[in-house]
Amino acid sequence: MGDKKIIDYDQNIGTMNIAKLFLVYLTTNLCGFVRNAGALMYRSPVKLIRSEGHTCDVHEVQTEDGYILELHRVSARMKSKEKRINKPVLLNHGVLFSSVQFALNGKNNSLAFYLADLGYDVWLFNNRGNSVSMKHKVWDPDNNTKEFYDYSFHEIGMYDIPPVIDYILNETNSEQLSYIGYSQGGTSFYIMASTRPEYNKKISVAVLVAPSSIMRNSFNMFLNILSRVIYTLEDMTRTLGIYRLPFLDYFRRFFIMFSAPGIIRNWITLPAHVQVLQTQHVDETLLPKMYYYSPTYTSSRQLFHYGQLIHSGKFRQYDYGKKENLKRYNSTEPPCYDLEKVTAPIVLYYGDSDALVTEKDIEIVSEILPNLVYRRLLKGYQHSDFFNGVDQVKDFYGELADFLNKY
C-alpha cells in the first residue's frame, strides 16, 4: 500500500464525535478567512483522468426535462498492452460525488482505470446538478436555484439514466451495457428498472455496491436523529429558500486547509471526515485532494428523500405531504417502488460495518429481487470504503470484473 496509512475509528457516533461535527460547522461558517473568501472552484475530473495517462472524451446528453448531463469516456493508458474488450460499462457515483469518485485513487487503485486497462469501454456518469452537470436548456443553477434543484434521486432514475443508456448504446453500436452503481447510483438504478422496466433488457448485468433502498435498519445515529425531524427541516429550508445544499464551499475550504498533520486534523478534520463520509479505513493520501472535487452540489431534496426513507422504513417516492400527494399520486401516501420489476441480473456488494446500507436491509431486498445472481458481504467495509479506501482492488475489483466478463 506504499505510503498510504490506515486509521481505524469506531463506527458508532458518540456524543464526542457529534460535538466535533458541530465544531466543524461553527468553525467553517464563523472563521473570517473562510467566510470572506471567494467561491472555491471545483477541479475538473477530466484533467485528473488525463493526468493519469488515460484519454478522456467528454459527451453531453440532454434529458427530456431539459438537463444537460456530462459523460466522461475513459480509455486505456497509451502504454497498456491489454486487448480491447469493447464492452461498454456505465459507472454511476454516489450522492455528493461526481465521476471523479471512480478516478480519485490514482492510476492503480481507481475502478475507472482498472476497468479501462482491462480493455472495457468505460463511461462515467454525472447526475443533474452536481459540479459537472450544471447545465439546463432554460434554467441557470445560480439564478434559478428553486427550479433547477427541484429534483431528488427519483428524477435521476426516471430521466437521467435512461437517455444516457440509449446514448451509449447508440455510440458503441451495442444492444446492452454493464452498469455499476454505488449508493445513490444503486438507488437510482432500482428506480429506473422498476418505473421504466423496458430498460432492464438493455442491461447485461448491474453491479450495485452499497445500494440504498429500504433503510429501516440504518444505525447511523446522526442521520437517524435528523430523520426524526426531517419534515420540520424541509419546511425550514423552503421558508428560507434553500434548495441546494448550503455551505459546501466553507466545508471544503476548511478540510483543504486543515488536512496537514496537526492537532486540528487529528481532533476535528479526520474524525469529521470519517463520520460524515462513513469510512473505516482512511487513505491519508486522498486528503486534501478529495475536497477539491467533493462534496459536490446536490439538491436539498435528495438528502431529505433519504431522510424520509429512514423515517418510513419504506423504499418509496417522495412524500410531499398528504394534500400534494393526493394531487400527484392520487393517494395520501407516496407509492413504493416495485423491486419485483427489476429483472436485470443483479450483483450486490455490501459491508458489515455500513451504518447506512445495512446487512439486514440488503437481506430484505435480496428476497424481493427476482434476478439476484450473486451477493457478497465484505468484512470491515463501511459505506465509503468501496471505491475510495485502500484495499478495494485486492478485495473485490477482480471478482467484479469477472461478472462484467461473464454477462
Average pLDDT, the chain: 88
Catalytic-residue membership of 183 = yes
Is position 354 annotated as part of the catalytic site? yes
Segment 267-283 mean pLDDT: 75
pLDDT at 78: 59
- SS3 label, residue 190: helix
Average pLDDT score over residue span 76-95: 80
Map grid coordinates 459546501 to a residue: 248
pLDDT at 1 over 80: no
pLDDT at 262: 79
pLDDT band of residue 28 (cuts 50, 70, 90) is very low
Query: pLDDT at position 15, please?
Result: 43
> What is the dihedral sign for C-alpha 249, 68, 237, 319?
negative
Q: Considering 152, 183, 299, 312, which one is annotated as catalytic?
A: 183
Asked which of 70-74, 269-273, 358-362, 376-380 is least confident by mean pLDDT, the reply is 269-273
Establish whether 273 is a catalytic residue: no
Q: Is the pLDDT of residue 10 over 50?
A: no
Give tens-digit pLDDT for 378-393: 999 999 899 988 889 9
Residue 85 C-alpha cell reads as 474488450
Q: Spot the catalytic one: 54, 305, 383, 395.
A: 383
44: DSSP letter: P
Using one digit for the tens of pLDDT, what is the confidence trace for 143-169? Answer: 999 999 999 999 999 999 999 999 999
pLDDT of 17 above 70: no
Out of 121, 354, 385, 391, the active site residue is 354
Which residues have CB under 8 Å from 47's CB, separation 6+?
A: none
Q: List the single range of 70-74, 89-93, 237-241 with lowest mean pLDDT.
A: 237-241
Which structural domains are found in the chain, ordered by start?
Answer: 39-245+295-406 (3.40.50.1820)
269 or 348: which leads in pLDDT = 348
Q: What is residue 250's three-state secondary structure?
A: helix
DSSP SS3 for 368: helix
∠ CA 371-377-381, rounded to 5°: 135
Residue 174 CA to residue 168 CA, distance in Å, equals 8
Radius of gyration of the chain (CA): 20
At residue 83, the pLDDT reads: 63
Summarize pLDDT for 288-341 with one digit per residue, the tens. 888 899 889 999 999 999 999 999 999 999 999 999 999 999 999 999 999 999
**190-204 pLDDT, tens digit each:** 999 999 999 999 999
